[in-house]
Amino acid sequence: EPEVTQTPSHQVTQMGQEVILRCVPISNHLYFYWYRQILGQKVEFLVSFYNNEISEKSEIFDDQFSVERPDGSNFTLKIRSTKLEDSAMYFCASSANRGYEQYFGPGTRLTVT
Amino acid sequence: AQSVTQLDSHVSVSEGTPVLLRCNYSSSYSPSLFWYVQHPNKGLQLLLKYTSAATLVKGINGFEAEFKKSETSFHLTKPSAHMSDAAEYFCVVANNNNDMRFGAGTRLTVKP
């Protein structure tokens, strides 16, 4: 069964550094998403992406965040200058089309020290 | 705007007894509703979903949920808990664009 994959599973970085979290969505899916879950808190929507453009973003997704689909298979989330409060589990998801079920990856745990 | 409220942050049951995890939703249109499960150090797994077909939805691992529009509820139930059901459960509402909003989660503990 096809699945969403994410790398790395755990990333440790120093405050102020840039990080790139990578996701490989299911191959024929058209919509891509990033979510964040701070430890002990709810899963929060960050951004959705379609046709090489951001289709919706939350208030969390400020100028330090960016997303990209660089090569037709990967979908990346970049955090330009990490802060301590960026420490969280980041989930990628994809769906075949608008309104279809989202499939989630296993997540990347980001620790900012 | 849509949102969900999970009424219990923690539910504890004994193995073999029924499970009830409560969820109320708020939406200005006909929502799609989902329950996801997250086991420790694992990703999110879809248990079941409601998308305006049958109001009683059956999912994996013996779970089911009933959509009650009059009560704006989508509670998750299972007749008999198993130790492997211990996990975090999230109720999720989605709009027509499939933009999802998660509840705060309910941690289910199953006692032997």
Type of residue found at B45? Q
pLDDT at B97 over 70: no
Q: How confident is the model at residue B88 (pLDDT cuts 50, 70, 90)?
A: very high
Q: A5-112, superfamily in CATH?
A: Immunoglobulins (2.60.40.10)
> By the CB < 8 Å criterion, does A106 face chain B?
yes
CB contact under 8 Å between B97 and A56, yes or no, is: yes
> By the CB < 8 Å criterion, does A48 face chain B?
yes
CB pairs under 8 A between A and B: 47
| Residues B35, A50, A83: CA angle, nearest 5 degrees | 75
> By the CB < 8 Å criterion, does A43 face chain B?
yes
CB contact under 8 Å between B98 and A98, yes or no, is: yes
What are residue A96's phi and psi, to 5 degrees? Answer: -65, -35
Q: For each of the domains in chain B, give its residue range(s) and CATH number, in order of start.
A: 3-111 (2.60.40.10)
Would you call B57 helix, strand, or coil by DSSP?
strand
Of A48, A101, A106, the CB nearest to B42: A106
- A contact test, residue of B6, B34, B38, B44 with most A CBs within 10 A: B44
pLDDT at B90 over 80: yes
High-pLDDT (> 90) share of chain A, %: 78
pLDDT at A64: 96
Cis omega (within 30 of 0) for bond into B79: no
